Amino acid sequence: METKLQFIGGEWVPALSKETREIINPFNQEVIAVAAEGNEKDAKEAIKAARKAFDQGDWSNTSASDRGEIVMNIANLIKRDREELARLESLDTGKTVEESRGDMDDIAGVFRYFAEIADKDGGELIDSPLPNSNSKVVKEPVGVCGQITPWNYPLLQASWKLAPALAAGNTLVMKPSEITPLTTVKVFELMDEAGVPKGVANLVLGAGATVGAELSSNTDVDLISFTGGIETGKNIMKAASVNVKKLALELGGKNPNVIFADADFETAVDQALNGVFFHAGQICSAGTRIIVEDKIHDQFVDALVKRVANIRLGSGFDENTQMGPLISKEHLSKVMDYVEKGKKEGATVAVGGKQPEDPELQDGFFYLPTVLTDCTTDMSVVQNEGFGPVITIEKFSSEEEAIQLANDSIYGLAGGVWTSDIAKAERCVAKMRMGTVWINDFNLYFPHAPWGGFKQSGIGRELGKPGLDEYQETKHIFHNLKPEPMNWF
C-alpha cells in the first residue's frame, strides 16, 4: 500500500523533503505501507493553511448545525467503511479485527455524539448588575488546534480530538503516531468526502521530535491536544508555554482494580482479564494493578492464572486469536525489561514472563500474558506503567488499606472496585483519585462520559460536554442599552 501523502490546505501532497517511512506489520514485520515522512517544514505549511482557514475562511462562522451536519456525514462514512477501516487498523496495530470493529463502532459514535451536541449550546443570558443592559455568555472556537495521537488506538484517539474540534468550529493540524498512520490517512479522505472545507483539517505525518515539536511550539497554534506518554506530555507542556497555548493532555496510567472478598468472584476474575488483555495490555486504562483482599488472594490468583495460561496468541486476522502482538521491537524490549526489573525487586512470575516459544509467533513482537505476584507498592512494576500484558497483584486486609494502595501512585487515570456492598463501593469511589472509576466493571468508555486523568495522568477532558468545552473559548458580552456619562473625573 502506498500512502506517501499528507493532507495540507485541501490537497494531498508528499513530504517537502520527499522522505518516506516504512510501516511495519507487528505480527510478521512485513512492510505494509510506505508513508510520507514530514518534518518541521511540512508542519509549518499545514499550520499556515489552518491559520488561513480559521482567520479568512467561513468555517468558524458556519452555523453550528451546519457544522454538525458535516460531522454527522463523517460518522456515516465511517459506518459505511467500517470493515475496511477495521482491517487496516488491525494490520497496522496487530490487534484483533473483532477489537478493531468495536473501535470503529465507537469512533462512528463519537462523531455522531459531537455532531448532535454541536448546536445545543447557543450561550446564555446572565444577570446584569446594571439596569438598561444585558449580559450574555457565548462560546467561540479556540482557533488553530494541534493534535497529536499515539499508536495504541490510532483512530479512536484521533476521533476524540477531530470530532469536537470540528463541531466547535476550529481548524486543525493532526499528527498521528509515525508508526500507525494508516487509518488516520483514510479518515482524512472521508472528512474531505464529508464536506469539511479546504484548509480546515490538515494532516502531517512524521516523527514527534520534528512535526510534533513544531505543532507544540509554533505560535500560530492556539491549542495543543496530546495523547501519549507522560514524558512526552511534559515536553509538550514546556514547548506550549511559548505562547501560553491552551493545553489538553491525556497521559498514561497504572490503574488499580480493587477486588473485595464479597465480590461476585467469577465475574471479577473474568473482567480482570478483560480489563488488561485487550490489545495486549497496550491500553492507558488497563487494570494492570490488581489489589485483592487477602481472604481470597490465593483463590483469586489460582483462577486468574488458569485463565491467563489459556489466552490464545496469534494473528489479529485469525478469528481464534484472543491477543495479538505488541506494537514494535522497541516496545517488546521495554516490556521485557519491565518484567525483569520486577523479578529482581522480588515479584514472582505466576504465569508468562517471557516470549512465547510457538514457531508461528517468532516473527511477531509477542509476549506471553503475565501475572506477577508477591508485589508491593514500592516496586517499579507496581508504580510504573508497563503498557503490556502484565498484571501485578498486591494484597490488602482492610477497606482503608485498599484505598491507600489504590491512591499510592503518580497516576490518576482510572480504577475499579468490585464488591457486593453498595455502601462500601460508594465510600471507596468517593476517595479514589482518578478521572474514571468503575464499580463492578472495568474499562468501559463511551462518548457521553468525560475521559481524562487526575494527577499526572493529564490535564483536561475528552468526550462528553467537557470534551467540546476544551475546543471553545468563553466570551462574556456586556451591552449597555442606555449609555450615559458618569462624570467621575
Ligand X SMILES: NC(=O)c1ccc[n+]([C@@H]2O[C@H](COP(=O)([O-])OP(=O)(O)OC[C@H]3O[C@@H](n4cnc5c(N)ncnc54)[C@H](O)[C@@H]3O)[C@@H](O)[C@H]2O)c1
Q: Residue 445 binds which entry of ligand X, ligand BTL, none, with Cβ cut-offs from 5 to 8 Å by kind?
A: ligand BTL
**Could you say which of 223, 284, 372, 381 contacts ligand BTL (CB under 6 A)?**
284
Cell matching residue 463: 468526550
Beta strand pairing call for 256-259 and 289-293? parallel
Q: In the range 156-175, which residues lie near ligand BTL by CB under 6 A?
A: 156
Q: Is residue 227 part of the contact set for ligand X (CB under 6 A)?
A: yes
Q: Determine the longest span between alpha carbons in the chain, in angstroms.
A: 90
Q: Is residue 173 part of the contact set for ligand X (CB under 6 A)?
A: no
Least Cβ distance, residue 14 to ligand X (angstroms): 19
Q: Is residue 39 part of the contact set for ligand X (CB under 6 A)?
A: no
Q: Residue 156 binds which entry of ligand BTL, ligand X, none, with Cβ cut-offs from 5 to 8 Å by kind?
A: ligand BTL
Q: Smaller CB distance to ligand BTL: residue 152 or 370?
A: 152
Q: In the range 443-462, which residues lie near ligand BTL by CB under 6 A?
A: 445
Q: Is residue 232 part of the contact set for ligand X (CB under 6 A)?
A: yes
Question: Which of 96, 454, 110, 139 shows the shortest CA–CA distance to 280?
Answer: 96
Q: Is 109 helix (H, G, I), strand (E, B) or coil?
A: helix
Q: Is residue 387 part of the contact set for ligand X (CB under 6 A)?
A: yes
Which residues are within 8 A (CB) of 399 and not within 5 positions of it... i.e. 6 or more apart? 260, 424, 427, 428
Q: Is residue 252 part of the contact set for ligand X (CB under 6 A)?
A: yes
**Could you say which of 222, 250, 399, 470 contacts ligand X (CB under 6 A)?**
250
The residues carrying an active-site annotation are 250
Q: How far is CA 407 from CA 254, 402, 418, in A?
A: 10, 9, 16
CA distance 235 to 262: 44
Q: In the range 444-483, which residues lie near ligand X by CB under 6 A?
A: 453, 458
- HEC-encoded secondary structure of 361-420: HCCCCCCCCEEEECCCCCCHHHHCCCCCCEEEEEEECCHHHHHHHHHCCCCCCEEEEECC
CA distance 136 to 134: 7
Question: Which of 319, 323, 293, 295 shows the shortest CA–CA distance to 307?
Answer: 323
Q: In the range 409-448, which residues lie near ligand BTL by CB under 6 A?
A: 445
Q: Is residue 153 part of the contact set for ligand BTL (CB under 6 A)?
A: yes
Cell matching residue 348: 514472582
Question: Which of 81, 75, 59, 53 shows the shortest CA–CA distance to 159?
Answer: 75
Q: Smaller CB distance to ligand BTL: residue 160 or 260?
A: 160
Q: Residue 148 binds which entry of ligand X, ligand BTL, none, with Cβ cut-offs from 5 to 8 Å by kind?
A: ligand X
- One character per residue 280-299, x = contact with ligand X (rule: CB under 6 A): ----x---------------
Q: Smaller CB distance to ligand X: residue 150 or 199?
A: 150
**Could you say which of 209, 242, 422, 481 contacts ligand X (CB under 6 A)?**
209
**Could you say which of 109, 169, 228, 352 contacts ligand X (CB under 6 A)?**
228
Task: Give me the phi and psi of 267, to 5 degrees please.
Answer: -70, -40
Query: Which strands sit side by side in the sheet containing 256-259, from one edge to the other?
Result: 348-351, 370-373, 390-396, 289-293, 256-259, 414-418, 436-439
Q: Is residue 104 part of the contact set for ligand BTL (CB under 6 A)?
A: no
Least Cβ distance, residue 69 to ligand BTL (angstroms): 27
Which residues of the shown chain bind ligand X in the complex (CB under 6 A)? 148-153, 157, 175, 177-178, 207-209, 212-213, 216, 227-229, 232, 235-236, 250-253, 284, 385, 387, 413, 453, 458
